[in-house]
Amino acid sequence: MFENQPKGLFALALANTGERFGYYTMLAVFILFLKANFGLDAATAGQIYSIFLALVYFLPLVGGILADKIGYGKCVTIGIMVMFAGYVLLAVPLGAGGTAMGAMIAALVLISFGTGLFKGNLQVMVGNLYDDPKYADKRDAAFSLFYMAINIGAMFAPTAAVKIMEWAQTSLGVSVNDSYHFAFMVACASLVLSIAIYYACRPWFKHVENSAKQVAATGAKVEELTPEQTKKRIVALCMVFAVVIFFWMAFHQNGNTLTLFAAEFVQPLCTGVQTMAFDIINLVMIVVMVYAGFSLVQSKELKTKLISGSAIAAALGVLAYKYLHISPNGITLSAPIFQQFNPFYVVALTPFSMALFGALAKKGKEPSAPRKIALGMVVATIAYIVMAVACIGLLTPNAQELARVTGDPTFVNANVLIYTYLILTFAELLLSPMGISFVTKVAPPKYKGMMMGGWFVATAIGNYLVSIGSNLWGDMPLWGVWSVFVAVCAIAAIFMFAMMKKLEDATK
C-alpha cells in the first residue's frame, strides 16, 4: 500500500495533516465561540461561519493563479505563515468588545487567504511528483493516501478541541469563554509542526515546487499543448467541476439536514454494543487493526509481521475491555457525534479501496478517474435512497417538533445514519481524491494552480447550495427531502456517463 511511492508524498501528506488538524480543531468550536464570546445569535454566527467557509474554498483560485506565476512552494510557505498569524489572533483573549471583534474578523481573513495559498498548491505539488513516468501509474493511489491523511486530522480534531477546553477550565480555572482560545492555540501548534515537517523533508520534493513558467525559464523541457488541446482539457475539467458542485451539495448535508435528522429523529438513547460505535477510542482501535492487518499480509519480513500481529492483539484487547465495561444504562446521543463517522470511514476504508483498484489495475481493468467519479455519484444516489426509504412513514420535521412537545415523536435507530455515512464515504472515496488526481493530471501545465483553484471554487459553490436542504426542512415529508438529493446525484451521474468519452479523451 505504501510501497513504491515517492518519499515526497508522505512528507507533503504529513504537512497537510498538521494543517488540517489545526483547521478542524478551530472549526469544531468556532461557531460556539462566536455565540459565547460575542453574544451573537445563531443566525449572525452562522452567517459569519458560512462567509468564512466560502472564502476558504474560493481563495485557492487566487492562490493558484499566483502560484502559476511565482511557484507552488513559495505560495505554500507564505500560506502557512499567513495562517499562523490568523490563528495567533484567535488564540489571544481580547475580550468581547470592538477590538476583539476586529481582531477576529482580521484572523478569519488571514486564515482564509493563507489556506488559499497553501491548500490547492500543496496538492498541485503532490500531482507534480507523478509527472515522472516512474510514478505515473500510482497517481490515483497517491491521492487516496493523501486524502486519508487529511481525514486523520479531521477525525481527532473535535475531540482535541473539547479536551483542551476542558483541561483549561478544570486545571487552569479559566472561564468557558477564555477556554476557546486554548483550542485555537492547538491550531497554532499544529501549523508549527506542519512547517517543520515541510522544511525537514523538503529535499524530497523541492524539484516540484516551481511553476511551469519558472521551469521553462531554466531551459528545462515543459510539456507544450496546442490551443486546441488546452481548450479540450479545460472543458473536460469544467465538466468535472460542474458535477463536483452537486456532489458537495449532497454530501455536506452531513453538517446540515443529516445533523438535524440526528437531533430530531434518531432515538436519543443508545444501549448495548451499539454504544461502542460512539467511542473514538474504539474507532481508533479498528483503524489500528485495519492497517496492522494489511501490514501483516503484505510484509515479507518476520519482524514486521510480529509487530503487526502484536498491534492487532493489543487493539482486540482494548475492544474486549471496552465491551466488558459497556454501561448498562446506555448513553445519550448528541447530534454532532455522528460527524466522527465520515473521517473514520475514510481512514479505515482507504486501504481496501487501494487494494481493490490495485488488483483491477494489474488486470488492466481499473476504471479511469472520470469513471470513478461517475460511480461515486451513483453511490451517493444509493445513500439518499436508503435515507428516503428509512424515512417513509415518519412525521415531517414541523410535525415532529410538535410531537416532541406532546410526547409522541417518531424515532429511528442510529444505524440508519451510521449506514448512510458509510455509503456516502464510499462515494467520497470514489469522487474526491480521484477528482483531485484528475485535475493534476489533465490541467494544462501553465494553468495547474488555477485549475486546482477551480476545483475548490466548485466545492465552495456546492457548500453554498447546502442550504437548499435546510430550506426544504419543515413541512415536506422526509422521504421527499432526501428524494431531492437522490435526483440531484442521479442526474449528475447520468451527465458524467454521457460525457465519459470526452473526459477520458482529455487524459490521453
User: What are the tens digits of pLDDT across the range 146-184?
Assistant: 888 888 887 788 778 888 888 999 999 888 888 889 989
Q: Which residue(s) pair with 412 in the sheet?
A: 266
Mean of pLDDT over the chain: 89
Please give the Cα distance from 94 to 90 (Å, whole number): 9
Residue 117 has pLDDT above 90, yes or no: yes
pLDDT per position as a tens digit, 85-102: 999 999 999 888 899 999
pLDDT at 464 exceeding the cut of 90: no
Tell me: pLDDT of 256 over 80: no
Q: Is the pLDDT of residue 115 over 90?
A: yes
Residue 420 has pLDDT above 90, yes or no: yes
Q: Which of 41-50, 64-73, 447-456 has the lowest mean pLDDT?
A: 41-50
Residue 506 has pLDDT above 80, yes or no: no
For residue 182, what is its C-alpha cell?
Answer: 486554548
Q: What pLDDT score does 219 carry?
A: 67
Between CA 266 and CA 338 the distance in angstroms is: 11
CA atoms of 187 and 87, how far apart (whole Å):
7
Res 498 pLDDT > 90: yes
Cα of first residue to Cα of last residue in the chain, in angstroms, is 26
Fold entry, domain 1-222: Growth Hormone; Chain: A; (1.20.1250)
Backbone angles phi, psi at 332, to 5 degrees: -95, 125
| 84 dihedral zone (left: phi>0; alpha: psi -120 to 50; beta) | alpha
- Write out pLDDT tens, residues 357-366: 888 988 989 8
pLDDT of 508 above 70 = no
Kindly report each contact of residues 97-100 with a partner whose C-beta sits within 8 Å and lies 24 or more positions away, as own/partner.
Answer: 100/37, 100/38
According to the model, what pLDDT value does residue 413 have?
A: 93
pLDDT digits (tens, 9 = 90+) for 264-307: 899 989 999 999 999 889 999 999 999 999 999 988 889 999 99
pLDDT tens, residue by residue, 11-33: 999 999 989 888 888 887 888 88
Q: In the prediction, which pLDDT does 196 show? A: 94
**Which amino acid, one-letter code, is at 180?**
Y
Beta bridge partners of 266: 412
Judge whether 1-222 and 226-268+334-508 match in fold: yes
Quote the cell numbers at residue 81. 505563515
Residue 193 pLDDT greater than 70, yes or no: yes
Would you list the domain boundaries of the chain? 1-222, 226-268+334-508, 271-332
Note the pLDDT of residue 273: 93
What is the pLDDT, as a whole number, of residue 99? 93
**What was the pLDDT predicted at 388?**
96
Residues 6+ apart with CB under 8 A from 377: 243, 246, 247, 427, 431, 489, 490, 492, 493, 496
Q: Where does the pLDDT of residue 222 fall: very low under 50, low under 70, confident under 90, or very high at 90 and above?
A: low
Q: In this structure, what C-alpha cell is assigned to residue 493? A: 451521474
Summarize the confidence of residues 216-222 as an average pLDDT.
Answer: 70
* pLDDT of 255 higher than 80: no
For the stretch 466-495, pLDDT in tens is 888 888 888 899 999 999 999 999 999 999
For residue 139, what pLDDT band results from cuts at 50, 70 and 90? confident
Has residue 247 got a pLDDT over 80?
A: yes
Alpha-carbon span 453 to 198, nearest angstrom: 21
Q: How far apart are CA 78 and CA 55, in angstroms?
A: 17
pLDDT at 419: 95
Task: Tell me 332's DSSP state.
Answer: E
Cβ atoms < 10 Å from Cβ of 498: 11
Q: What is the pLDDT of residue 26?
A: 87
What span, in angstroms and rounded, lies between the C-alpha atoms of 128 and 67? 14
Q: Among candidates 374, 355, 486, which has minimal Cα distance to 431?
A: 374
What is the rounded average pLDDT of the residues 328-335? 85
Q: Please give the angle made by the CA atoms of 126, 131 and 136, to the nearest 5 degrees.
A: 95
Express the helix, strand and coil content of the chain in percent, nearest 5 each.
Answer: 80, 0, 15
Helix axes 176-200 and 139-171, enclosed angle (nearest 10): 140
- Taking each helix axis from N to C end, the angle separating 7-38 and 139-171, rounded to the nearest 10 degrees, works out to 40
Taking 90 as the threshold, does the pLDDT of residue 113 lie above it? yes
User: What's the pLDDT at 305?
Assistant: 92
**pLDDT on residue 275:** 93
The pLDDT value given to residue 50: 77
Q: Is the pTM here over 0.85, yes or no?
A: no
pLDDT of residue 175: 87
The C-alpha torsion from 167 through 169 and 174 to 180, rounded to 10°, is 70
Residue 270's DSSP bridge partners are: 331
CATH homologous superfamily of 226-268+334-508: MFS general substrate transporter like domains (1.20.1250.20)
